[in-house]
Amino acid sequence: MERSGEDDVADNRAHLTAPSDDDDGGGDFEASALSSNMFLDHVGEVVLTHNSDGLSWELRESIPNEGSHCLGIKLDHKVPDNIKLSDMYAVELAGYGSIHRSNAGQICFGTEFHGYEMYLLKVHGFKKSKTKPCLWVPATYTFGHKDLSTCEMWVNLVNASLNREVGRPKNLLVFVHPLSGKGNGYRNWEMVAPIFARAQIKTRVIVTQRAGHAFDVITSITNNVLRSYDGVVTVGGDGFFNEILNALLSSRYKAPYPPAPSDFAQSVGINGCSVVHNPNEIVSENSDQNEDDDPLLAIPQHNGSGSSNLHTYHQDADFPFPNEWFRFGIIPAGSTDAIVLCTTGARDPITSALHIVLGKRLSLDIAQVVRWRATAASKVEPCVRYAASFAGYGFYGDVISDSEKYRWMGPKRYDYCGTKVFLKHRTYEAEIAYLEVESENTNSASDRVQALWGTNKSERLICRTNCMLCNTKPVYTSSRATRPTPYSRPEETRWLKSKGCFLSVGAAIMSNRNERAPDGLVIDAHLSDGFLHLIMIKDCPRASYLWHLTELARKGGHPLDFEFVEHHKVHFLITFHVSSASLNIFGLPCFLYVVQTPAFTFTSSGNQSVWNLDGELFQAHQLSAQVFRGLISLFASGPEV
């Protein structure tokens, strides 16, 4: 005989300990497992149990192992039987409504669904897509009971457990770029806003109205007000995120200029002083009207030698960076969304929102780029910018510059402008110097590379969730710095230089995966290892460059692994010095150079230069750059395997 919901009230009260009258849902409940008989929608009568890990449930009447059949087809009745607290973000009373019970094991057209009217409670969490583990899908479990007080006790019980989860945000500042991508900014926020509401997260939402609006708001907020938020969320593309990143760092973070070879330092008069950039100068170069905001593919590099004076950096005591509690969140709405793809593994607003409400945390390297001269004729006037994903010159600077005239085309303008720039095959004469860093417990660059990446390219360590390399402290740290930069041991550094005609020069802070480069510019670049991947492509035949770009655009391609450099098995080197004379194979000149470095300098021999910083234009004839390891934290957990 079937049991009704009323039959279980006594059982529930016997097993479930109610909170005291003055408990607001945040008090401590007894640690032992608590259980109650409930109905789970579309499943049936279950015993719901609460324990330290979360909730689990067991059917009162087991479903036959063979499952049911419909037209001779066996149906799978496997349903989840638990949800962890770490995967749960909200629980709520859902009023009075129907719960349906399925009698598994019957022929499908004869299966009856018994509807019960009772009080409902909903548990909100997520599950990973079976085909795409990085894609998180909302999962809601609806339980019912005839007794309202029983449902209320369960809501209070689960809320008390959720309140004890560490790191979950309670108050967020949200900026929405309404024109981002194809105008998806506001629509994407409306899509995810209910998730934040269910999680009881307060959000102050600002929809930007003009260029530089978000920048002005961030720089005008006092530290006391900013500290009342657990983080800032951007709804837009990578360029919009770059604007807010620069607003926070330029107004609150003090750091020395990047290190440089002695001749470069003398030419620009570097004195090692800490600087905070003038916010107005950044706004003038930022474009809040960018719908797309993201680095495109990737590029260039080579070698030399020298030395420099190195400095530690300082933190603002009022609002320090790195910051253990304040995090950045990104709801993707751009044209490429490389940062989201690299940090969550999915270009999906729902997945990003779930990472935020669950309080995920991921450290991210940030590059500081200092422009010393905008043009060859300019005076030395340092201008500081920060980048989270990519800095590119030459081909990629020209593409982003030319695409400004074709915004009406949307994301397709990159393909159109990229084709135009490629056909011009323009080269740029420049000099690049990059910092080589030796690890104190390895004897050579190749030893260190082998230790990290292995001797076979298939053994390269790809950055994933709980990445071993990103979570390992560097061995070249200095005790003088609270958060040292990778070049904290000047006695173990040297400068390598390259001068010539380049098709492109770029620095990748992360792999920069996107739809145009599905594996990224550098497939095994890491999110928080303290290094830039400097990629330089010297002048080469147009066919060779097309080959490189084609490999970038292909899933499983090898853009940095051409036959004429095949004898160099490891391309992503921590301290690798490539000799151009040794890379002329079968009469074909090598044009591709890749090196991992914490800092580099650049000087153009032309009149002016255009750089691409996270998809934003940046005029710079002469610049220097350095990377700060784990300078900021994101609401993310890294891409899954």
Give me the active site residues, please: 238
Nearest C-alpha neighbor of 332 from the set 372, 373, 292, 391: 292
- For 366, the 3-state DSSP assignment is strand
DSSP code per residue over 451-520: HHH-SSGGG-----TT-TTTTSPPTT--TT-SS--TT--GGGEEEEEEEEEEEEEEEESS---BTTBTT-
Nearest C-alpha neighbor of 357 from the set 53, 630, 640, 637: 637
Q: Which helix (H) or strand (E) holds 615?
A: none
Q: Rounded to an integer, what distance in angstroms lies between the CA atom of residue 158 and that of residue 170?
A: 17
Nearest C-alpha neighbor of 206 from the set 194, 222, 191, 189: 189
Tokens found for residue 55 = 């909730």
Are 101 and 77 in contact, with CB atoms under 8 Å apart?
A: no
Number of helices (H), then strands (E), belonging to the chain: the values are 15, 28
Handedness of CA 168, 171, 173, 176 (dihedral sign): positive
Nearest C-alpha neighbor of 440 from the set 373, 404, 490: 490
Torsion of CA 442, 507, 235, 186, to 10 degrees: -150
Tokens found for residue 39 = 């109905």
Looking at the DSSP assignment, which residues form a beta bridge with residue 566? none
DSSP-assigned letter for residue 553:
T
Nearest C-alpha neighbor of 214 from the set 193, 245, 190, 187: 245
Backbone angles phi, psi at 285, to 5 degrees: -105, -5
Looking at the DSSP assignment, which residues form a beta bridge with residue 54? 51, 84
Q: Is 441 exposed, middle or buried (0-12, 13-18, 19+ CB in 10 A)?
A: exposed
Looking at the DSSP assignment, which residues form a beta bridge with residue 68? 75
Looking at the DSSP assignment, which residues form a beta bridge with residue 49? 35, 56
- For 566, the 3-state DSSP assignment is coil
